[in-house]
Each structure stands twice: as structure tokens, then as C-alpha cells.
Amino acid sequence: LHVWVINNKDKIPPKSKLGEALTYWLNQEHKLVTYLEDGRINIDNNRAERAVKPFVIGRKNWLFSNTAKGANASAMLYSIVETAKANNLLVDSYLNTCLDELAKKPESIEHLLPWNIKLG
């Protein structure tokens, strides 16, 4: 296909849809070759997009963090949630357990850290 693109790029009007596609091909061809040669590379960035989606959705909610304390509280909550996810915990179960444990022993939190907690 690459040989055909090289041989025909000057025969196709560059402003046509096919001409634009050929220009795109020529500009991006090195990325396709890299992807084909290295099987570890993902074809898309969907995983990264999904990871930042909660922050994009939350952007409107952050408008209500109109004080430094409110913004700090939001940042702490997002940190706790994302750390729980990173440790393969079910977030709602983790938060419920933390709140229950804090009601019993608010002075002790080390055992509630996402990498220490035992959910049962």
C-alpha cells in the first residue's frame, strides 16, 4: 500500500478527500510502522482517556469548590478514590469500610490505607 501511495500521490489533487488521506498516510506512516513492529504498543489511548474522564466530568462540580478548604477537600477525596482504584479495590465498599472504621477508632488510620486494608 505504501508503494502505491508514493507512486500516486502526485496524481491525486491534494485538496480532495483521497489527497488528504494520502497526505495523512505519508505524515503518519512512521507511527503505523512502529505500531506494527512493536506488539506492546496499544493501537489507541482509550485506557488513558478513561483514566482522566472522571476529572473531565468533575470539572463542572469543581466550580462549587469556591474556597481553598473546599478545593482541598475535593482533592483529598479524588486522591483517595483514585488510590483505591489503583489498588484494585471497589471504591464504594472501600469508602464504606473506612467510614465505619473511622467512626469506631478515629485516631487510627494506618490500617485503612488502600494498600493495607483488609476488606471482608
User: Can you give the residue ranges of every domain in the chain?
Assistant: 2-37, 63-112
Q: Which single residue is written with the C-alpha cell 479524588?
A: 78
- Give the cell for residue 91: 471504591
Look at residue 20 in the predicted model and tell me its pLDDT.
Answer: 95
Mean pLDDT by 10 residues, the chain (120 residues): 90 94 93 89 86 76 76 85 90 92 85 84
Look at residue 120 in the predicted model and tell me its pLDDT.
Answer: 64
Alpha-carbon gap, residue 33 to 52, rounded angstroms: 28
Look at residue 42 in the predicted model and tell me its pLDDT.
Answer: 86
Look at residue 37 in the predicted model and tell me its pLDDT.
Answer: 92
Alpha-carbon gap, residue 60 to 13, rounded angstroms: 45
Look at residue 56 in the predicted model and tell me its pLDDT.
Answer: 77
For residue 22, CA distances in Å to 5, 14, 15, 28, 31 come to 6, 8, 10, 10, 15
